[in-house]
Amino acid sequence: MKIIGKIMAAVLALSLMAGYGSIHTKQAALAAKTFKIKADVDFTLKLPESWRNNYVIKRSKSKKQGSYVAFFSKKCYQQTTDGWLFSIMRYKDDSYMDMPQYELAGKWNGFNYVAVFPTDIQTFGATKAAKKQYLKLSGGVDNVIVSIRPAERRKEEKGVCRFSDFSLKLPESWKNNYIVEMGKGNEKENSYVAFCAKECYNQTKLGWLFSIGRFTDESYQELPDYELVGMWNGVSYVAIFPTDVQFDGVTEEAAAQYQKLDKSVKKVVRSIAP
């Protein structure tokens, strides 16, 4: 009887463990599910399934410097107007670095998309249920931030030079005056698109104006002259500039063409967009 009792106890324990495991498997599967939202006209986010109907969005009216899209836990917001989880803010400069708690989440169309987080308690005066909801949602914030993507563009603008994964706006004066070279690698790493002044390139194979390099790490920081101009889909788009003269040995006309194009290089690279 003792042996039978031990066997029954073991079977019961195994069945409980199996049930416990299935519960956690279901919870993990639920946590892995996401749904995509267009957070604003210019970017999307993927939210955990557990967030559905449990959050509130507040947006600034403008889409300019310092504008934002803020996310709140629904119950806390309804009870106390607190419950702030995070915001995505737009900056054209680096002034966001003065914030106490932030993360650069994306960069395109000349804007830095910065995730800003609360530094104080957001659940004061809320019920236990509201606090529980806030804690549950706040645990998924990091995954939401890294899911940021540019919203799809509806129409192509005039003067846009498009590649498979990014585009640049070129001034009218660049028309028929430049050459593009594609570097080796793939679209996500160790590849580049180089722009050269046409006449210099034809005469000496020089005339390099800039390149857009793709990086999935921070190795670009070792380059002598660069600017991080874009960041989305896990790829950093880096403008790389020459550090030596690019029109030696060319005609005056070719040198003049190079210098004319070079004046607008910064504007071109900062126009990068998906």
What pLDDT, on the 0 to 100 scale, is given for residue 153? 65
- Say which amino acid occupies 247: F
Percent of the chain with pLDDT over 70: 84
Least confident stretch, 12-16, 165-169, 171-175, 216-220: 12-16
Question: pTM score, two decimals?
Answer: 0.71
* 219 contacts 235 by C-beta, under 8 angstroms: no
Report the chain's mean pLDDT, rounded to a whole number. Answer: 85
What pLDDT, on the 0 to 100 scale, is given for residue 28? 47
How many other CB atoms sit within 10 Å of the CB of residue 159? 13
pLDDT tops 90 at residue 62:
no
How many other CB atoms sit within 10 Å of the CB of residue 149? 16
pLDDT tops 70 at residue 206:
yes
What pLDDT, on the 0 to 100 scale, is given for residue 18? 42
pLDDT tops 50 at residue 137:
yes
pLDDT digits (tens, 9 = 90+) for 69-109: 999 999 999 999 999 999 999 999 999 999 999 999 999 98
249 or 8: whose pLDDT is higher? 249
DSSP state of 274: -
